[in-house]
Structure 1
Amino acid sequence: MTDARKGVTALALLAVVGLTLFLASSLRLTSPIADLADTLIGPVQRAVSSVGYFVDDFSASIISAGKLEQENKRLQQEILRLQAENAKLQSLQQENEELRQQLGFARARTDLKMLNAMVIARDPTAMHQYLVIDKGSADGVRVGQAVVHPGGALVGQIMNVEQHRSQVLLITDIDSSVSAEIARTQADGVLEGRWQRGGLLELRYIEVGKMPDGQPRVKAGDWVVTGHLGGIVPSGLLIGQVKSVKSSDSGLEQVAEVIPAVDVRSVDRVLVVSNK
């Protein structure tokens, strides 16, 4: 068949199809054809619609996840801010409590001169028990002076002085030795540090036997204070409480294990004290 004949045949078929559709539309017979078209095309349309809904839901999920991430970051920042505020309030509360204790101690011990100092360093090797404070010879600090917690409990003694700073040997260090006594009976002894030997404090050289009234010279629960033989260290400063009592190996003395009244390594503010 020639190309001209093929073209004429195609035009004839198109004309027949067009005429058929026109007649079917005029006679309202297009419904079966429409149904056939819906049957063929409907699943495709529904599939396309489903894909569209899925894309919409997926986009909404991405947007929602982004919002949740932003909200999570905001809440984390808020938590950090509240934690910082809480830490600041606790610090202020601790400082306020220390100042209140200091005021009470100052009122109770008007016989003492007191110098406020801040702890600026500790032994970095953890081999010794000492602190460094921000007061020195320019402030009148001298070797041997007592250093106490704001509430009045003994922390240590000045062991080295520079112009604007000083080292404080803590009472728990093995090189520390302070005259002390039992507050209840005034039985005296020497308080020695025991930290490097696995302990804290020992009150040694307590006389064996009982007091004239029959009471034990020392017993668990007794309070220990600085003694009257301390030289530059004022007497009556609180040290700690007796935990247990034993006899020495020689049996010529009693030895009391003492728990410090404060954690001497954790103090941040202290008082350098001396007799007026």
Structure 2
Amino acid sequence: MRRETQNLLLVLLGGALLKIALTGTYLRYVKPALFPWLIGTGVVMVLLAAVAIVRDIRAARARARADDPFAAPPEPHEHEPAEHAAHEHRGRSPWMLLLPVFAIFLVAPPALGADSIGRGQQTAAPERPTGASALFDELPPGPAPELSVSEFITRVVWDGSGALEQRAVRLRGFVVHPADGPARTQLARMRISCCAADASPVLIDLAGPAADALATTPQDSWIEVTGTLRAGSATEANGQVPTFDITGARGIPAPDDPYEY
């Protein structure tokens, strides 16, 4: 690979990292805590490319000042055949590395959604709280406090106080219509530990007349639902997926940060 190609790749890769970090689209791929590392990596790559470009320009000017038309061509690398060195500059394969960079600049892939569920990912199992956190805090005040889907399921499985029984809460997520089994609608979120590569779905079955109205709602549509837990619906047999009897649902914009942690 020619040095010019290397430098261009460094500039574009560093620029792509800075673009997705500064525009907020990095949240489709990694957790917010990695933002400083993306910025630092992008800046370092661009600086390395800038230093290499300046050094190459100075070297080219020095050769031009030498103005020696009878200078011998540079020797091939010690372990590189001369024929390969002669054809190195005509190679096109390094430019294929630019395709994923241009894809990030032009068409940023969306966050994981309904089409990622059921492709081998295991449903995220709620972890049992330990130590002092084993005692859950009281639910927020109000007629229908908002909980994350992960917190709701964790309370369903591990909170034996019965705080969720007959208590209306609000949940936010995207719509999923499972292809297997009877027709039904689920509320889903993707939970990640580090990045989208380790994402696992968190699912809730929606029930009730208001849930029947969601049967025609397109998948990946973001909604907020209000309702109550159906006691005893989350079991080991169904992967600890609770049933939520909803009394209302409304569409909402997709959040800037689509994942839970």
User: TM-score surpassing 0.5?
Assistant: no
Q: Higher Cα Rg: structure 1 or 2?
A: 1
TM-score, L = length of structure 1: 0.19
TM-score, L = length of structure 2: 0.20
The higher relative CO (CA closer than 8 Å, separation ≥ 6) is in 2
Name whichever structure is richer in strand by fraction: 1
